[in-house]
Amino acid sequence: MYAEYTPPPLLRMVDAGRLGRKTGSGFYEYA
């Protein structure tokens, strides 16, 4: 990784384990 490189928000969420429907979070919060 380059220090000046910032991944897109989607990749940052994936890295944080926020993969969407499967994990119950992401762009939307799944109840």
Residue 25 sits at φ, ψ, to 5 deg, of -150, 170
Q: Which domain holds residue 31?
A: 1-31
Q: In whole angstroms, what separates CA 29 from the centre of its chain?
A: 13
Query: Residue 14: its pLDDT value, please?
Result: 65
Q: What is the pTM of this model?
A: 0.24
CA dist 28 to 4, 13, 16, 23, Å?
A: 28, 12, 15, 11
pLDDT of residue 16: 63
Q: Which two tokens stand for residue 12?
A: 């940052």
What pLDDT is recorded for position 2?
58
pLDDT at residue number 26: 53
Residue 23 is predicted with a pLDDT of 55
Sequence-ordered list of residues with C-beta below 8 angstroms from that of 25, at least 6 positions apart, any chain = 18
1-31 pLDDT per residue, tens: 556 666 666 666 666 665 555 555 555 555 5
Give the number of domains in the chain. 1
Query: Tell me, what's the pLDDT at 20?
Result: 54
